[in-house]
Amino acid sequence: MAKKKSEDHDDGADKRSTGETARRIWLAGVGAYGRAFTEAQEALKDVTGSTSKVFDDLVQKGEVIEAAVSSKSKDMMKKAGVPTIDDRISKMRSRLSRGYEDGADTADIEARLDAMEAKLDKILALLDKKPAPKKATTKRTPKKS
């Protein structure tokens, strides 16, 4: 009996040490998280103090880059013959308001429509002369799934 109690006592000590080890591992993880959080807060305080200066520097650099890119893109667009956005907008507006301001645009559209109607009349006349052969249609049965 005495032997049995000592064996039970030894097993309990092993379980406590395993549980304690697991707890210590967990606490180490929590401590690592706490340390990282504290370091991040300190770094954020350093950056926050100079935020306005960093922001102003970035704005200045952005303005310089924007000016350079804008002038280069305008030059390249002119060389390539691509219309500017303002030209494209004015062209789109004229297309949308066609017929209200410019009579020449309306005449052009009417002439094109007349030509298309004449071609369509010819096609319909040809279809009336030569009726298409009628095909016998068979009713399809749906496939079983």
Tokens of 105: 């645009």
Residue indicated by tokens 């308001």: 97
Per-residue pLDDT for the chain (145 aa), expressed as one digit of tens each?
455 554 555 555 555 688 888 889 888 998 998 899 888 888 877 777 677 777 888 889 999 898 888 888 888 878 888 777 888 888 888 888 765 555 556 677 888 899 999 999 999 988 887 655 566 555 566 566 5
User: What is the predicted pLDDT for the residue at 116?
Assistant: 93
Q: What is the pLDDT of residue 103?
A: 56
Determine contact, residues 91/83, Cβ cutoff 8 Å. yes
Task: Give ∠ CA 114-119-121 in degrees, rounded to 5.
Answer: 90
131 token code pair: 């009726």
The pLDDT value recorded for residue 1 is: 47
Task: Report pTM.
Answer: 0.28
Hey, what are 28's tokens? 């180490």
The confidence score (pLDDT) of residue 115 equals 92
Residue 82's pLDDT is: 79
Q: Are 106 and 99 in contact (CB under 8 A)?
A: yes
CA distance 93 to 116: 26
